[in-house]
Amino acid sequence: MSKTKVVHRKLGKHGAIGLAYFDENLIEVDSRLKGKEKLEVYIHEKLHIMYPKWSEKTISSAGRNLCDFLWGLKYRQIE
């Protein structure tokens, strides 16, 4: 799979903090997010692209689990 493009912008009018476009291999993330919430959205939306047939419940659970794992290892994004 090719590299996923990530775009940061305000998504409030969409009622979302992250969006995934499988056909375009594109993720949009609300530019106001920080810390653990931002990490979880990156993971969540990438899982949508990787596994488009998974249910939202499965994606959310797996995303939360992976995020908690990485956060517990002290993963942090330097901005």
CB 35 within 8 A of CB 58: no
Give the residue extent of every domain in the chain.
Answer: 5-72
| The pLDDT value given to residue 42 | 98
Output the tens digit of pLDDT for each of the chain's 79 residues: 589 999 999 999 989 999 999 999 999 999 999 999 999 999 999 999 999 999 999 999 999 999 999 999 999 998 7
41 to 29, 54, 67, 79: CA distances (angstroms): 7, 16, 9, 16
Signed CA dihedral, 42, 44, 46, 49: sign only: negative
| The pLDDT value given to residue 1 | 58
| The pLDDT value given to residue 13 | 92
Pick from 58, 54, 50, 57: which is nearest to 27 by CA? 50
| The pLDDT value given to residue 55 | 97
Cα-Cα end-to-end distance for the chain: 27
| The pLDDT value given to residue 78 | 86
What class, spelled out in words, does domain 5-72 have in CATH? alpha beta
